[in-house]
Chains A and B, each alone.
Chain A
Amino acid sequence: MERAWIEGIVAGDESAFEALFRCYNRELFRFALKMTGSPDDAEDVVQAVFVAVWQNRASWVIRSGLRVYLFAAVRNRILQDIRNGQVRRRLEPDVLTFSTGYPSAPFRSPDQMVQQADFAAALAQAVAALPPRCREAFVLTREHGMTYAEAAATMGISPHTVMVQIGRALAALRKSLAPFLVALLLVR
């Protein structure tokens, strides 16, 4: 599938481009939102990455997997925008939580929703408070299900360093979420 999309896009096939967009845009947006803390900035970055993919299609070379390539493209653009002062880090809790916990089928009781939303919101806040590299490593591996190697390729660092960052992230999150974790462990 990926091969076919890449070949299609290089050949100027719009439907391959749209298929690529449909497949990855949502998770790239969630990642960009976690990185920037701003839905507008995240939206801007994701759109810019897809525009660049289409416009540079003729000279498009994908060495890693497509998904890692797109995540890395989003990440690099955000870092570049931050350097250029076009993106400010705005990690306000309400911005980060607006997209969490909306009930999807099957329906949950309001009580369950509140409990789940509580943890999701607290987690989002705690993740937002992590140092940038820690946060990235955690978000990529845990929230986007990447392997350590994929996260390392995305971030342009070694898998060893990814593990160190994840270990640090977990230690910090455990401390800030201790009240929740005590309750969750008691419940189970």
Chain B
Amino acid sequence: MSDDLDPRILAKWLLGSLDSDEQRVLDRWLAADPARAVELAQARELWRRAGEVARAQAVQPDAHEALRWAGIIGRIREQDAPPSTRRTGRPLTLELPRRRRPVERWVAAAVLVIAAGGGLWALTHHGKERQLAEVPPPMRTYETARGERAEFRLGDGTRVMLNVASRIRVPADFGARVRDVYLEGGAYFEVVHDSTRPFAVHAGDIVARDLGTEFTVGAYPEQRHARVVVRQGLVALHRAAAEDTGGGATVHPGQQGRLDDGGTPKVQRADTTAEFAWTGGTLVFDGVPLRDALLQLGRWFDLEFRLSADSLGRIHLAATLTNQPTDDALRFLAASLGLRSERRGRVVTFYPAFDGSVP
């Protein structure tokens, strides 16, 4: 816009609210140079497009909402509750394991949409080269740290809850033809079924293909085989390497599927209440040896668990941990194991309850 058009007149013109004096000023300005009509048309187009972009952004999922809420509740609690009342006097419910310093943790971990390989920035700048060179599409990464979970929706409306210390990668062209995601750790999916664009989770040694479902997938590093548990609908389970060669299995509600050591899909009954409990902020142990539960506990609370003696690892843990402050949960854990726990910073050690030695 040439300098001589009053910016206020431009702004009012966009709204169609010029009075007659202002209209005359505009008309005079336009008449002075034919190019000014183009400038004005460009300004209107810019205004319109900016509105479109804003509306498109407004409906996008915000992966940070759950953590934002948790951060607010964490801050309120820290400022509100004297330590002695924390156990019973919780002013609000919190869906995540307790966080110490919400903001710093945000910086450290959160569910950052990481521009792995570039994200949209790369898409913008390399889009044209990509069409020529067939570079694999950039991945968008959602990540949770230990002690953190997250909930968000993918572009197709599929709801995802990411368990602690997990990562999911989504190709930038997700949904264009297929809907493939790549998981490390654990996640719950509520898939919007669309047979023309199959949804598939690649995790560890399996591919779980949705046939209209709610299911969880677990592929943590210590698991020899990734596992899918179905609550509703059907999941087709395949070996990751041999997806197209058939030989898959169908996992029904109430069942879990994984590969056996020979690489053959194997379907068994599953306790879905326990398997899906984490999505509601509850950790359920159903009589597993303590040694096997330690890694999971460590991820959940972002602590390191140790045993004063290896033999303690054989004790079976049957406990349900709901949302509660970490130290309360630790006391409860120790009590249900018949052990004593000592916490030093981020390290928690279990001792026999009546061990004569002083830790």
Residues of A within 8 A of B (CB): 14, 17-18, 21-22, 25-27, 29-30, 39-40, 43-44, 46-48, 50-51, 54-55, 93-94, 97-105, 107, 109-110, 113-114, 116-121, 123, 138, 142-145, 148, 160, 162-168, 170-171, 173-174, 177-178, 181-182, 184-185, 188
The contact string, 1 if C-beta is below 8 Å from chain A, for chain B 33-58, is: 00000110111011101110110111
**CB<8 Å pairs between A and B, sample of 28:** A14-B91, A21-B69, A25-B62, A50-B72, A97-B121, A104-B59, A104-B61, A104-B155, A107-B156, A110-B176, A113-B173, A116-B56, A117-B120, A120-B57, A123-B49, A138-B50, A143-B50, A164-B7, A165-B7, A166-B11, A167-B6, A167-B9, A167-B11, A170-B10, A174-B39, A181-B42, A181-B46, A185-B42
Question: For residue A116, which residues in chain B have a CB less than 8 angstroms away from its CB?
Answer: 53, 56
Task: For B59, give the chain A residue with the smallest CB separation.
Answer: A104
**Number of contacts between A and B (CB, 8 Å)?**
189
Binding-face segment, B99-107, B216-224, B246-254: B99-107
A103 to B175 CA separation, bound complex (whole angstroms):
8
Q: Which B residues fall within an 8 A CB radius of A?
A: 1, 5-12, 14-15, 38-39, 41-43, 45-47, 49-51, 53-54, 56-62, 64-65, 68-69, 71-72, 75-76, 79-80, 91-92, 102-103, 106-107, 110, 112-113, 115, 119-121, 123-124, 127-128, 140, 155-157, 173-176, 197
Q: Contact between A160 and B49 (Cβ–Cβ < 8 Å)?
A: no
A185 to B46, CA, bound (A): 10
Q: Which B residues are CB-close (under 8 A) to A178?
A: 42
Q: How far is the CB of A56 from chain B (nearest CB, A)?
A: 12
Name the one of A114, A138, A164, A170 contacting B43, with C-beta atoms under 8 angstroms. A170
> What is the minimal beta-carbon distance from A41 to any residue of chain B, in angstroms?
9
Contacts of B127 in A (CB 8 A): 114, 117-118
Name B115's contact: one of A54, A94, A160, A182 (CB within 8 Å). Answer: A94
| A40 CB to nearest chain B CB (Å) | 5
Q: How far is the CA of A69 from the CA of B197 in the complex (A)?
A: 44
The answer to whether B7 and A167 have CB atoms under 8 Å apart is: yes
Contact A100 B156 (CB under 8 A): no
Chain B, Cβ-Cβ closest to A46: B68
Bound Cα distance from A178 to B35, whole angstroms: 13
Contacts known (A51-B79, A114-B127); A171 close to B43, Cβ less than 8 A: yes
Assess whether B76 is in contact with A55, with CB atoms less than 8 Å apart.
Answer: yes
Question: Are A170 and B121 touching (Cβ within 8 A)?
Answer: no
User: How far is it, in angstroms, between the C-alpha of A39 and the C-alpha of B54 when the chains are bound?
Assistant: 18
Contact call B119/A104, Cβ cutoff below 8 A: no
Task: List 5 additional A-B contacts (Cβ < 8 Å) besides A102-B120, A170-B46.
Answer: A30-B57, A103-B155, A120-B57, A144-B54, A185-B45
Chain B contacts for A117, CB-based, 8 A: 120, 123-124, 127
The listed residue (B12, B57, B72) touching A163 by CB distance below 8 A is: B12
Q: Which residue of B5, B58, B106, B175 contacts A40 across the interface (Cβ within 8 Å)?
A: B106
**B54 A143 Cβ-Cβ under 8 A:** yes
Give the complex CA separation of A93 and B6 in angstroms: 30
CB within 8 Å for A121 and B42 given contacts A26-B62, A51-B79, A171-B7: no
Once the chains bind, are B68 and A25 in contact (CB under 8 Å)? yes
* A134 to chain B: closest residue by CB: B7
Bound together, the chains give a CA A50 to CA B115 distance in angstroms of: 29
Hey, which chain A residues are within 8 Å of B1, CB to CB? 167, 170-171, 174
Contact B7 A47 (CB under 8 A): no
Known: A144-B54, A163-B7. A184 touches B45 (CB 8 A): yes
**In the complex, which of the residues A113, A143, A148 contacts B123, with contact meaning CB atoms closer than 8 Å?**
A113
Nearest Cβ distance between residue A36 and chain B, in whole angstroms? Answer: 13
- Known contacts being A105-B155, A160-B8, is A44 close to B103, with CB within 8 Å? yes
